Structure 1
Amino acid sequence: MPKKTVVIGFLGSQLDAGQGAGRWEKWRPTVSLVQHEDMVVDRIELLYSRQHTALAQQVQRDVSTASPDTVVKLVPMDVADPWDFGEMYAALYDWARAYRFDPAHEQYWAHITTGTHVAQICMFLMVESRFIPGVLLQTAPPRRQRQGDPGRYTLIDLDLSRYDVLARRFSQAQAEAQDFLKSGIATRNKRFNALIEEIERVAVRSQAPVLLTGPTGAGKSHLARRMFELKKAQHRVEGEFVEVNCATLRGDSAASTLFGHKKGAFTGAATDRAGLLRTAHQGVLFLDEIGELGLDEQAMLLKAVEEKRFFPMGSDREVSSDFQLIAGTNRDLRVDVAQGRFREDLFARINLWAYTLPGLAQRPEDIEPNVDHLLARCAAEMGHAVRFNVEAKSRYLQFARSAEALWSGNFRDLSASITRMATLAEGGRIAAGLVDAEIQRLRWLWEPAGEAPARKGQGSGEVDLTALLPDATLAAMDLFDQLQLQSVLQVCRDCATLSEAGRRLFDHSRMQRSVVNDADRLRKYLMRFGIGWDEVKALP
């Protein structure tokens, strides 16, 4: 036996109205429900305000005339303000919770054409949350008004399959936003990707302050700007992105730059100045190195963040600015708070969303995708393709991921390194020689000042062969062979792996070979003297 059809809907105080015989020439949404030849409605739960009781009774009679088998149940619902979302939702929720639904024998259609827009939204939410276990019903008048034409209707089923489509699209949008925050770089570090995933949600949902910590060059400024651009693309901010490095602010200029000043506020204040906080109105203010701000400026900033109001220097009248604050620092502000250099109340206010960006050395698996991204950027700037050859890229990545690569400047160091090689590459090809020179440059860059070690192969200390070879073997060796072995061992001692030493020793002769295995070639040479790689690495 087919289920009975029950329509739940609001009385349309305007659309359902009509007097005299002429009302039948007018399209009325509730009456039209029973005028479709292909739709049988067994019952209508007609929700109405008591002030429209007469109209509700008229519609009840007209439905009975058009469809005698349809029962219209009048449901008074007194809502003082039908445009108040909270009041309307509460009334509809209470009715739905008390109503005896019988899904086994009845199907329910929630009519969303009549009622205020707020009422229609509440009806949608009731169906979406399954408080009304049915589908949405949308009706519309005929394209050309003709007597007896019931117009059109559409059933909208909010079933799980549709949710899956929406969920997939939502997930895709989230993935696109996260990719945007990472500038399209396919990062592989799980910790960093999880960090970006949360930052994406915060960026689009929250206007609260965000604190980005991490070493210099970790990308705090870049991420802050990308967060702003993401918010801008989703119409969540109307203003601009304003960035200032607090380490550059000193004395009166600090307060003046941030909060503005009145003419004559201090020596040199020849005109009024708005200040960056007001410039950032309706936008995002990024204060990099916020830990460098003085205590007075910190107090003024706290008031501006909490109350959206502050006093410009030399003014007795407050001004307002509604901005979102993103703060950056490479310091541990908890230590600064403990030592009295940073206000505890300001730290508590900006620490709601706090994220520490890992340095490049902590993300070795992300070096390769960042190298590819930087190469593509260099190619776009120079107007021609730039690529590593296979061997050169392998050599560079091996060094870049090693413990020897400090990346103390993080992505600034990496960007500068790739830019140098891309600029010097002949024919757009970065070869092994260019990589070796760049590695030497990076090693020099990261040497502690005043403690630069001797260059490899140039006074780095001769290898004592007596520590490796028996006296009888040494006595039988020509001086030429001894000197050659010493030189080879000096190179090996300065290399992290057997492969790296082999590549350095046979850099040119490999080009004449069809099969290249530098490590095996070096291993065989050492074994002629009974020396293994572990013994070489044990050398002082």
Structure 2
Amino acid sequence: MNQPRHHVVIGIVGSKLDAGLGEKRWNHWRPSVALCQYDDLLVERFELLHHAHDRKLAEVLKADIESVSPETTVRLHELPIRDPWDFEEVFGVLYQFARNTKFKTDDEDYLIHITTGSHVQQICLFLLAESRHLPGKLLQTSPPNPHRKDDEPYSIIDLDLSRYDALATRFAQEHQAGLTFLKSGIETRNKEFNQLIERIERVAIATTAPLLLTGPTGAGKSHLARKIYELKRQREQVRGEFVECNCATLRGDQAMSALFGHVKGAFTGATNARGGLLKGADGGVLFLDEIGELGSDEQAMLLRAIEEKRFLPVGADKETSSDFQLLAGTNRDLAAAVAAGHFRDDLLARINLWTFRLPGLAQRREDIEPNLDYELERYATRTGQKVTINKEARQQFVRFAESPEAIWSANFRDLNAAVTRMATLAASGRITVDDVAEETTRLRSSWTQSAPTDGSEILSAILSDEQLANIDLFDRAQLATVIRICRASESLSIAGRQLFAVSRLAKAQPNDADRLRKYLARFGLTFEQIRE
């Protein structure tokens, strides 16, 4: 038979609401005493916190509570708080009280009384309950209302919001709206990509720490960075501007000036002062694409600006400040750049807290059709001309786009260019089978011309000269393609599905990962080795 659980109240003496030392004190409502007089709320123990100057009042309350509720044990705790309105001091003291208390959650239910105490103290109790440092529910009491006999004298608030259906539904709708917004309204079908966007949405609205977006060129890093900013702006988490810079365009002495600004006369040609990109992003978001291209001096200055929100403009003798959130993008392996001495390890450690790798279009082939519609909508917005694609043409383009034949080496830039060309050449605003055939021929030709004739450059990075010399030219080209796809894939299974997209359809139980693993083993390679 289960033993009944005990109610334990944690509360602070209210110097005004609980006041009263003479007999007249019984003539008015005192919250700390009243909550021990409710027939349906049996308080086994009351942990009563008080300030040094309220010690006498606390002792009176202890005696009064034990007189009206003999089954309640009152324990007094003096708080070393000098200023009950100083948030930092109050939180620190209450936090220490919570840390020093041994809670028996298996046997006792804790109620945190938030009716008494200063507003700052009430807020601190709420935060400690929300963080589970005080493992209980909130308890709020109110004086009796002679005009409303049905009023509840107290209410218990459970901070587990999943228990509140209406709130849970509202949060779910807001969460889904955020996901849809980050995907520009595109109903993407790739499971791994959808999970990635869900994680990005959760992190983006919960932190101001740097976010690092990696992935191949054209995977959509810049577009996603702007969407993250716009989402944070909608949620009123930032008020400043979105400032974007491709670090690959910053060269020489102008790089420091562009990023950190300069004072008038700092160098030849500096006829006016310049605020710089970091200052322009004050209160907003700074997106540094291709951050791996920054020089060593710029990296050092950027690290300090991220950590301290302060930096020194070129030629200045006084620092300036800028409070921005950094989003960084790169298609380079920054860990390898650190090993090679081209990138600072401390800067990478600072921006690598939240890293998200965007897959290339070839790894999201099921998302090509919804992105086709999106690109047509973008074309209409950009040109003012609505262009459609007939059913046969759509099927032909999607069939080609999703096949292994379509390399999509430039990712979404290839897709955008393809749709733009077809839409521009479409007669009467409708893309036909002939338009698709012309475009697919053009894409095949461009990919063939840009593809390397053999895989020597890729293979030489992981195979010795002796190993390479023993591989036929035919096998080199094939192996190089396999390695490129493995490097762009998050797992062995994903790479296998792409490489065996046609032959796997003829198998009742395709095991793409095993086939790929055995193929790589022929050359003494593993998927993990290739990814490293």
Same fold by TM-score greater than 0.5 = yes
DSSP 3-state at the match of 1:47: strand
Asked if the contact 1:284–1:325 (Cα under 8 Å) also holds between the matched residues in 2, the reply is yes
Distance 1:221 1:41, change over 3 A: same
**Which residue pairs with 1:488 in the alignment?**
none
Identity %: 54
Paired position in structure 2 for 1:492:
none
State the TM-score, normalized to the length of structure 1: 0.70
Residue deviations 1:468-518 (CA, integer Å, cap 9, x gap): xxxxxxxxxxxxxxxxxxxxxxxxxxxxx9xxxxxxxxxxxxxxxxxxxxx
Unaligned runs of 5+ in 2: 453-501, 503-532
Q: Give 1:364 shift.
A: 0.9
**Compared with structure 1, are the counterparts of its residues 35 and 293 closer, same or farther at alpha carbon in structure 2 (3 Å cutoff)?**
closer
C-alpha deviations, 1:65-91, integer Å up to 9, x for none? xx8455554321111125522321332
Q: Match for residue 455 of structure 2?
A: none
Q: Which amino acid aligns with 2:76?
A: P
Match of 1:522 in 2: none
1:254-291 alpha-carbon deviations (Å, 9 max, x no partner):
21111111211211100111111111223221112223
Q: Counterpart of 2:405?
A: 404
- Counting only pairs closer than 5 Å after superposition, residues 177-216 of structure 1 correspond to structure 2 as 177-216=178-217
SS at match of 1:355: strand
Q: Tell me which residue corresponds to 2:92.
A: 86
Contact 1:63 1:72 in 2 (8 A): yes
Residue 523 of structure 2: aligned partner: none
- Give the drift of 1:435: 1.9
Report the alpha carbon displacement of residue 393 of structure 1 after superposing the two structures with TM.
Answer: 0.7
Find out whether 1:139 has 2:145 as its counterpart.
no
What is the Cα deviation at residue 360 of structure 1?
1.1
Q: What's the counterpart of residue 45 of structure 1?
A: 46
The worse-fitting range, judged by mean Cα deviation, of 44-53 and 234-243 is: 44-53
2:47 equivalent to 1:75:
no
In the alignment, the residues of structure 2 paired with residue 10 and residue 133 of structure 1 have an alpha-carbon distance, to the nearest angstrom, of 17
Output the CA distance in 2 between the equivalents of 1:270 and 1:326. Answer: 31
Contact 1:56 1:74 in 2 (8 A): no
Quick check: 279-288 or 376-385, which moved more? 376-385
Larger deviation, residues 326-335 vs 364-373? 326-335
Please tell me whether Structure 1 or Structure 2 has the larger radius of gyration of its CA atoms.
1
User: How much does 1:22 deviate?
Assistant: 5.7
Aligned partners of 1:46 and 1:72 also within 8 Å: no
Q: How does 1:302-341 map to 2 (within 5 A)?
A: 302-341=303-342
Task: Give secondary structure in 2 for the equivalent of 1:205.
Answer: coil
Task: Name the residue aligned to 2:435.
Answer: 434
The separation in 1 between residues aligned to 2:63 and 2:337, in whole angstroms, is 77
User: Which amino acid is the alignment partner of residue 300 of structure 2?
Assistant: A
1:78 is paired with a residue whose SS is strand
Q: 1:264 to 1:118 in 2, by over 3 A?
A: closer
Matched with 1:30 is 32
Q: How far is the alpha carbon of 1:218 from its aligned partner?
A: 1.1
Q: Does 2:17 align with 1:15? A: yes
Range 130-139 or range 108-117, more displaced: 130-139
| Preserved contact between residue 33 and residue 41 of structure 1 (Cα < 8 Å) | no
CA change 1:100–1:235 in 2 (3 A) is closer
Q: Point out the more displaced range, 432-441 or 38-47.
A: 38-47
Tell me: CA distance 1:125–1:290, structure 2 relative to 1, closer, same or farther (3 Å): closer
Q: Is the 8 A contact 2:36 2:69 kept in 1?
A: no
Q: 1:28/1:228 Cα in 2 relative to 1: closer, same or farther (>3 Å)? A: same
Residue by residue, what CA displacement relative to the aligned partner does 1:42-79 show, whole Å, maximum 9, x if unpaired? 66626042532332344456667xx8455554321111
> SS where residue 77 of structure 1 aligns?
strand
Work out whether residues 182 and 224 of structure 2, in 8 Å CA contact, stay in contact via their aligned partners in 1. Answer: yes
Distance in 1 between residues matched to 2:280 and 2:238, nearest whole Å: 13
Distance (Å, rounded) in 1 between the aligned partners of 2:70 and 2:106? 18
| Aligned equivalent of 2:113 | 111
The structure-2 alpha-carbon separation of the partners of 1:381 and 1:39, relative to structure 1 and needing over 3 Å to count, comes to same
**Counterparts in 2 of 1:349-364, with a 5 A limit?**
349-364=350-365
Equivalent position amino acid for 1:76 in 2: L
Counterpart CA distance in 1 for 2:451 and 2:13 is: 86
The alignment's TM-score, normalised by the length of structure 2, stands at: 0.71
Could you say what the CA RMSD is over the residues aligned between the two structures, in angstroms? 4.0
Could you tell me which runs of 5 or more consecutive residues in structure 1 were left unpaired when the two chains were aligned.
Answer: 452-496, 498-540
Tell me, what secondary structure is at the counterpart of 1:250?
coil
Distance 1:307 1:111 in 2: 39
| Range 377-386 or range 182-191, more displaced | 377-386
> What is the alpha-carbon distance in structure 2 between the residues aligned to residue 441 and residue 27 of structure 1?
84
CA contact (8 A) 2:219 2:358 kept: yes
Structure 1 counterpart SS, 2:332: coil
Provide the C-alpha distance between the structure 2 equivalents of 1:31 and 1:196, rounded to a whole number of angstroms: 52
User: C-alpha separation between the residues in 2 aligned to 1:158 and 1:252?
Assistant: 58
CA deviation after TM superposition for structure 1 residue 221, in Å: 0.7
Partner of 1:413: 414
Residue 287 of structure 1 is matched in structure 2 by: 288
